[in-house]
Structure 1
Amino acid sequence: MLVQRFHPALRPGQQLVLAESGNPLFSRQGHWDSGSALHCVAMALALLGKLADPVALSRSDTGPEAGFWDRAWPYYLHGLTLSELESFIWELNLGVRPGARPDGRGSILNFCERELKRGWPVIVGWRRHPVRDAHAALVIGIEGRWQKRAFEPNALLLLDPAATEPRLSAYNARLAFDRKRPSYMTETHAYPVTLDAAIALRPIARPPPAVISSGCA
C-alpha cells in the first residue's frame, strides 16, 4: 500500500493553507530572484507557527514578518550558501534552530523522514547537471510503502517555490530515490539531481506535533 505522510500544519484543498489560520502557505519564487531557500524558510516557519503570513512578508510593517523581510532582502537576488542559511535561521531569533544532517552521515531520505516524524520541516538543496546554481525546496511529506510491517520511504514530497502552486494537493514536486541518483519530478519535468544539503528547522524547547498519515491502495 502506498502511504504519504504530511506535516500536520497543512490543509490541502483548492489552495494549500495553514490548518490553524487558513492563511495561504505557498510562497512563489520569481523568475529573477535566487531566493528559493528564503521562500522555504518562510514556509517552514509558518508551519511551525512562527510566521502568520509567509506570502505577504514584503508588505508587513511590524512583527516577525517585517523582521524576516528586513533580514531576507539583501540575499534575495544572489541567494545563500549553506552556512549563510544556517546563520540566517539563527539570527531571526524566532525560537527555531537549524539542524543540518551531521557530517553527511546517513541518507538525506532517512534524515528527512526522522525530522518530519518529529514534526520538523526540512529544506533540501540540490543541483542539476550541468546547471551550476543550487536550488532549494521544502520537505513537507514522505512517500513510501509498507513492506513486511515496516514503512520503507522512497520519495520526499516537496513544496518547490519555483514550481506551480499546488492545487487539491499538499505538494508540487517529488524527489524520488528509486534509482541510483535521486530524481526531481513535477507535472512537467523529470531529471536526475545531486543533493547538497538538508537542514531541519527545529523549535527550541517545544514538544513535537504528531504526523498525519494517509494511504491509498
Structure 2
Amino acid sequence: MLIQKFHPALRPGQQLVLAHSGVPLFSRQGHWDSGSALHCVAMALALLGKLTDPVALSRSDTGPEAAFWDRAWSYYLHGLTLSEFESFVWELNLGVRPVALPDGRGSILHFSERELQWGRPAIVGWRRRRVRDVHAALVVGIEGRQHKRTFEPHALLLLDPAAAEPRLAACNARLLFDRKRPTYVTETEAYPVTLDTAVSIRVIAKPPPAVISGGCA
C-alpha cells in the first residue's frame, strides 16, 4: 500500500495554506534570486508558528516578518552557505535552532523522515549536473509503502520555491530514492541530482520553571 505522510500544519486546497490560520504558505522564488533556502526557512518557520505570513515578508514593518526580511535581503541574490544558513536561523532569535545531518551518519531520507515525525520541518539541498549552485526545498512529507506494520520510505515530498504553486495538493515536487541516484521529479521534468545536505529546524524547548524552596510566611 502506497502511503503519504504530511506535516500536520498543512491544509491543501485551491491554495496551500496553514491549517491553523488559513494564511497562504507557498513562497515563490524569482528567476533572478538565489534565495531558495531563505524561502524554505520562511515556510518552515510558518509551519512552526513562528511567522504569521511567510509570503508578505517584504511588506511587513514590524514583528518577526520584518526582522526576517531585514536579515534576509543581503543574502537574496547570492544565497547562503551551510554555515551562513545556520547562523541566519540562530540570529533570528525566534526560539528555534538548526540541526544539520552529521556527515556520513545516516541518510537524508531517514533523517528527514525522523524529523517530520516530530513535526520538525527539514530543508534539503542538492546539485544538478552543470549547475553551479545548490538548490533547496522544504520537506513537507514522506512517501513510502506499508508492509504490515513496517513503513518503508522511498521519497521526500517537497515544497520547492522555484516550482509551480501546488493546487489541490500539499507538495509540488518529489525526491525519489528508489533508483540508482536520487531523482528530482515535478509535473514537467525529472532528472538525477547529487544530494548536498539536510537541515531541520527545531523549536527550542523552554526550561522548566525554577523550584523555589522554603517555608510559608
Class of the TM-score when normalised by the shorter of the 2 chains: over 0.9
Q: Does structure 1 residue 193 correspond to structure 2 residue 197?
A: no
- One-letter amino acid of the structure 1 residue matched with residue 193 of structure 2: V
**Matches of residues 94-133 of structure 1 in structure 2 within 5 Å?**
94-133=94-133
* CA distance, structure 2, for counterparts of residue 180 and residue 95 of structure 1: 39
Question: Is 1:64 the equivalent of 2:64?
Answer: yes
User: Which structure is richer in relative contact order (CA contacts within 8 A, separation 6 or more)?
Assistant: 1
2:55 paired with 1:55: yes
Structure 1 unaligned residues grouped into runs of 5+: 207-217
Q: 2-side partners of 1:138 and 1:185: how far apart?
A: 14
Aligned to 2:212: none
The residue that corresponds to 2:27 in the other structure is: 27
Counterparts of 1:1-217 in structure 2, within 5 Å, are 1-205=1-205
1:147 to partner: Cα distance: 2.1
C-alpha separation between the residues in 2 aligned to 1:125 and 1:165?
A: 19
CA offset digits 1:57-94 (Å, max 9, x no partner)? 00000000000000000000000001100110000000
Determine helix, strand or coil for the equivalent of 2:103. Answer: helix
Q: Which amino acid aligns with 1:80?
A: L
Q: Which runs of 4+ in 1 moved over 4 A?
A: none
Question: Does the residue aligned with 1:144 lie in a helix, a strand or coil?
Answer: strand
Higher radius of gyration, 1 or 2: 2
Q: CA deviation at 1:162?
A: 0.1
Separation in 1 of the partners of 2:138 and 2:165?
13
RMSD: 0.7
2:158, 2:17 → 1: CA distance?
15
Report SS of the residue matched to 2:195.
strand
Q: Kindly, what percent of the aligned residue pairs are identical?
A: 82
Cα distance in 2, alignment partners of residues 175 and 54 from structure 1: 24
- The one-letter amino acid paired with 1:8 is P
Give distance in 2, aligned partners of 1:189 and 1:91.
36
Report the Cα offset of residue 15 of structure 1: 0.2
Counterpart-to-counterpart distance in 2, 1:111 and 1:22: 29
Q: What is the Cα deviation at residue 130 of structure 1?
A: 1.6
- 1:163-194 CA-to-partner distances (Å, cap 9, x unmatched) read 00000000000000011110000000100000
Q: Helix, strand or coil for the counterpart of 2:126?
A: strand
1:190 & 1:47 partners in 2: Cα distance? 27
Shift of 1:103: 2.3
Q: CA deviation at 1:148?
A: 4.0
Structure 1 distance, partners of 2:6, 2:163, is 19
Corresponding residue for residue 214 of structure 2: none
Provide the rounded CA distance (Å) in 1 between the counterparts of 2:89 and 2:115: 17
User: Structure 2, unaligned stretches of length 5 or more?
Assistant: 207-217
1:103 aligned counterpart, secondary structure? coil
- The code of the aligned residue for 1:78 comes to H
Aligned residues: 206
